[in-house]
Structure 1
Amino acid sequence: MLSIIIPTLNEEKTGYLQRILKAYQHLKNCEIICVDGGSTDNTIDLINAAGVCLIKTDIASRAGRLNAGIVQANADTIVLHHPRSIIDIAGLNALNKHADQMSWGAFTHKFNIRHPLLQFTSWYSNYIRGDKRGVYYLDHCLFAKKQLLLDVGMLPLIDIFEDTELCLRLKLKCKAKRLPFISETSAIRFQVNGLYRQALTNQYMKWLYYFNRSDTAMNQRYEKGIQLNTQYDERQK
């Protein structure tokens, strides 16, 4: 059995949550847990209509919402599911079938639109940062044994790069396995902010991370103008 945990916050506008819940409705031996951080749109209605488990919280960080789902999960293997990614059904079935053979890992990343820059970004994410360095982002849809997640302290309660920090913890325990099945991710940030501008922003965020800048300040900058993972009061900036 798998537990798929989706951290949600005003997901209606991208259309991905609807796709995810519809695509996964017939999965066998699988529970879906949506952990909502206070949505003000129709996200809650979408979750309730799908008949999946809903945990309502006031937790601001995506990491905190994922941790709340991990604690409540019933399965031995957990999928930490990006709210704007969708996994190939064959990939989830394969994970379910062979979960006892894998401690942790991720699916193969791909954006939902084709562009050379985005194709390179996915290639680098899969083969260089992922396979060679053992660091995958949440849009790969990470999976791990529940006990292993508990052993490493789950996700650190930071506003950004929590997925990086989790992978650094996990790879100290054992090597990751990347499955060849696709996790297709929305390129909404690139579409809204511009392809090259967003790519430069991503690299800038990485440099700030390496120099140990404030995770809250980094995330406020990253979320400015789009606010997909965390809601900030623009008047306070």
Structure 2
Amino acid sequence: MRFSVILPCFQEIRHGYLDRILTNLVEQSGDKEIIAVVSASDDGTEQVLKTYAAKCSDFYVVRSPARNRAQRLNDGIAISTGEIILLHHPATLLPEKNALKLIEQTLGSERSDYAWGAFQHSFDDPHWLLRFTSWYSDNVRVKQKGVVYLDHCPFVDRQVLAQVGNIPELDIFEDTVLSDRLRQFSKPVLAQGKVITSARRFQQRGIYRHAMLNQLLKACYHFKIDPTWLNRLYEQKAGINVKYEEGLKK
């Protein structure tokens, strides 16, 4: 089973995770290619990626004019060759060394029943609300609702992903829309391994405040408010996934 790991990048040095992510990926066992898709960044992201690519024959750095994360993922998918696509969140660490083996074990024995899945989730901060958020995400959002966020590092059968048109090119909630489409083929399956996501955004904005913002955004999404406006509200000019030239109110 060959894997294509697609890592979308934009100003990633700020997370303090990029070197750890790349080391983690290079050390993963299994038949893989790593495709890092980077939009114009002025913080040295591309240089770091190229340093790792120079050490690994199956590591490719692609410069992309994409304006959002979904487009970066699609640019990577377009040149990938693996039969399983792993959508890698740029502030999340995979289980060390055996993540691809865990996917193979999960899909290999149940391939006829499951077309996609994800890893179990955790944050790098032990705050009770973040631990609850990860528990809820695994046991309610994924297992009961069949919605997988990108920070779970979802993996998808290539042919199924192509049938749903790859990643919806939205500024935010692209992973939710993708989940809705993939559920036509199967419910998602959770692999045994656990990923670790940076809690940096919660820590910067305040854990309770950021959690409330996330709930507000989800409510707005269900009321079909424009995702571009919602992402501006989420990013608050921080340039997290999208580089906006204008302020929120314009």
TM-score (norm 1): 0.96
- Relative to 1, partners in 2 of residues 1:236 and 1:201: Cα closer, same or farther, differing over 3 Å? closer
Residues 77 and 99 in structure 1, CA contact (< 8 A), matched pair in contact too: no
The one of 194, 202, 208 aligned to 1:182: 194
Q: Residue 35 of structure 1 aligns to a residue in which SS?
A: strand
1:24 counterpart residue number: 25
Q: Does 1:60 align with 2:67?
A: yes
In structure 1, give the amino acid aligned to 2:15.
T
Q: Does 1:84 align with 2:66?
A: no
Q: Residue 230 of structure 1 aligns to a residue in which SS?
A: coil
Task: Report deviation, 1:26.
Answer: 2.7
> How large is the Cα RMSD of the aligned pairs?
1.4
Q: Residue 133 of structure 1 aligns to a residue in which SS?
A: coil
2:56 counterpart residue number: none
Instruction: Select the structure that is richer in helix.
Output: 1
Give the Cα separation in 2 of the matches to 1:98 and 1:127: 17
150-159 or 94-103, which moves further after superposition? Answer: 94-103
Give the Cα separation in 2 of the matches to 1:172 and 1:98: 19
2:227 counterpart residue number: 215
TM-score (norm 2): 0.91
In structure 2, give the amino acid aligned to 1:48.
K
The one of 92, 99, 115 aligned to 2:127: 115
1:35 counterpart residue number: 37
- Runs of 5+ consecutive residues of structure 2 not aligned to the other structure: 54-58
In structure 2, give the amino acid aligned to 1:144.
V
Q: Residue 199 of structure 1 aligns to a residue in which SS?
A: helix
- Relative to 1, partners in 2 of residues 1:56 and 1:86: Cα closer, same or farther, differing over 3 Å? same
98-107 or 204-213, which moves further after superposition? Answer: 98-107
Give the Cα separation in 2 of the matches to 1:94 and 1:19: 20
Give the Cα separation in 1 of the matches to 2:241 and 2:6: 15
Give deviations 1:38-91, integer Å, cap 9, x for gaps: 111111011100012111111111111111111111100010010000110323
In structure 2, give the amino acid aligned to 1:11.
E
Q: Residue 3 of structure 1 aligns to a residue in which SS?
A: strand
Give the Cα separation in 2 of the matches to 1:33 and 1:94: 20
2:103 counterpart residue number: 95
In structure 2, give the amino acid aligned to 1:16.
Y
Q: Does 1:12 align with 2:20?
A: no
In structure 1, give the amino acid aligned to 2:14.
K
Give the Cα separation in 1 of the matches to 2:159 and 2:178: 14
Residues 102 and 192 in structure 2, CA contact (< 8 A), matched pair in contact too: no
Q: Does 1:73 align with 2:80?
A: yes
| Sequence identity percentage | 39
Task: Report deviation, 1:235.
Answer: 4.4
Residues 13 and 45 in structure 2, CA contact (< 8 A), matched pair in contact too: yes
Task: Report deviation, 1:93.
Answer: 2.1
Give the Cα separation in 1 of the matches to 2:173 and 2:238: 18
In structure 2, give the amino acid aligned to 1:2.
F
Task: Report deviation, 1:143.
Answer: 0.3
| Corresponding pairs, count | 237
Residues 24 and 94 in structure 2, CA contact (< 8 A), matched pair in contact too: no
Residues 10 and 39 in structure 2, CA contact (< 8 A), matched pair in contact too: yes
